[in-house]
């Protein structure tokens, strides 16, 4: 039988092509996660996850999976969460990451909370999603404005590409606030930006109203509306990766399409420091919601 052992996990059919345009196989995807494990695990381990599974490859049938279900690899763990009938899956280590690859997972979407306190968020996410016709420069400007508004109230933030056309601004906080409070805070800042510059930003999800503007999606701050993990692959053309950046990386030469399964390990090897170093240990409290 065609198989490989990676991090103690039996990977079957490692030659199966998951990204046909680049010829990226299941085994190559596992190798990618081995290469980025040290970077991704602090942001996905011991968090409930939602998965995008594409067992036959990116171009075939893909589906979301939120709950554990049956036939789950032994390297994955389950957590029962109040308010949900079925348990959620979570990973603990590199074998868990490779088990996700064995399941055909091409996207990992962790909660902004840990399994020991799933009712208390420790991340705030602002998802900046531009209209199709907008250039990336406008998204960079929006991300910097979010950063500046957060800094003005004493909050440090981090930025990453999404593997698509937008950016995520991520704020680590101590896990003392519930989801309602976190979403209220994110909404307040987002609505304030939209009110101050209604020609640039909006907070309504309607695509019909988005023409020429950037949708500031604060709804990601909810257990059932998660955001893609840093360093996670995406089930999209080009084999893109959601890539953490330094704020100073945001400039005219930045192209989010440059971050792929093939390029990211080399980029990490060249970096002297992790652009998100210190995030996990940062302790900052959620302030009152900004006035809209």
Write out pLDDT tens, residues 121-158. Answer: 999 999 999 998 888 999 999 999 999 999 999 999 99
Q: How many residues does the chain have?
A: 292
Which has the higher per-residue pLDDT, 289 or 98? 98
Confidence of residue 291 (pLDDT cuts 50, 70, 90): low
Confidence of residue 1 (pLDDT cuts 50, 70, 90): low
Which has the higher per-residue pLDDT, 291 or 173? 173
Average pLDDT of the chain is 94
- What ranges make up the beta strands (E) of the chain? 3-6, 9-12, 17-19, 24-25, 49-53, 63-65, 77-79, 88-90, 105-110, 123-130, 158-161, 167-172, 201-202, 214-217, 244-245
Region 79-100: mean pLDDT is: 95
- What pTM did the predictor assign? 0.95
Q: In this predicted structure, what is the pLDDT of residue 269?
A: 94
Which has the higher per-residue pLDDT, 290 or 76? 76
Q: Nearest Cα to 37, choosing from 89, 126, 99, 124?
A: 99
Residue 226 reports pLDDT greater than 60:
yes
Q: In this predicted structure, what is the pLDDT of residue 224?
A: 84
Region 212-219: mean pLDDT is: 94
Q: In this predicted structure, what is the pLDDT of residue 289?
A: 67
What are the start-end ranges of the H helices in 69-117?
Answer: 94-102
Asked if residue 22 lies in contact with residue 262, where contact means CB atoms within 8 angstroms, the answer is: yes
Q: In this predicted structure, what is the pLDDT of residue 249?
A: 96
Q: In this predicted structure, what is the pLDDT of residue 207?
A: 74
Query: In the numeric block, which tokens belong to residue 239?
Result: 């084999």
pLDDT in tens, 178-214: 999 999 999 999 999 999 999 999 998 777 778 889 9
């Amino acid at each position: 039988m065609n198989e490989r052992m990676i991090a103690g996990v039996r990977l079957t059919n490692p030659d199966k092509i998951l990204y046909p345009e680049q010829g990226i196989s299941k085994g190559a995807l596992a190798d990618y996660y081995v290469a980025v494990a040290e970077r991704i695990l602090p942001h996905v381990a011991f968090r409930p996850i939602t998965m995008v599974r594409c067992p036959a490859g990116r171009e075939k049938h893909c589906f979301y999976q939120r709950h554990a279900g049956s036939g789950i690899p032994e390297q994955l763990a389950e957590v029962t969460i109040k308010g949900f009938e079925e348990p959620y899956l979570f990973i603990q280590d590199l074998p868990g990451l490779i088990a996700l690859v064995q399941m055909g997972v091409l996207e990992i979407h962790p909660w902004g909370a840990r399994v020991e306190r799933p009712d208390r968020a420790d991340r705030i996410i602002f998802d900046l999603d531009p209209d199709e016709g907008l250039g990336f420069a406008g998204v960079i400007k929006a991300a910097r404005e979010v950063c500046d508004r957060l800094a003005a109230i004493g909050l440090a933030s981090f930025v990453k590409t999404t593997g698509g056309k937008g950016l995520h601004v991520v704020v680590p906080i101590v896990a003392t606030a519930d989801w309602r409070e976190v979403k209220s805070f994110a909404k307040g800042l987002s609505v304030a930006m939209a009110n101050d510059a209604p020609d640039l930003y909006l907070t309504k999800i309607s695509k019909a109203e988005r023409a020429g503007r950037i949708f500031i999606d604060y709804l990601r701050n909810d257990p059932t509306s998660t955001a893609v993990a840093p360093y996670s692959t995406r089930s999209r053309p080009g084999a893109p990766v959601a890539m953490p950046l330094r704020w100073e990386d945001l400039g005219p030469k930045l192209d989010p399409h440059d971050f792929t399964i093939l390029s990211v390990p080399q980029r990490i090897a060249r970096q002297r420091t992790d652009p998100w170093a210190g995030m996990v240990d940062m302790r900052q409290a959620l302030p009152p919601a900004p006035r809209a």
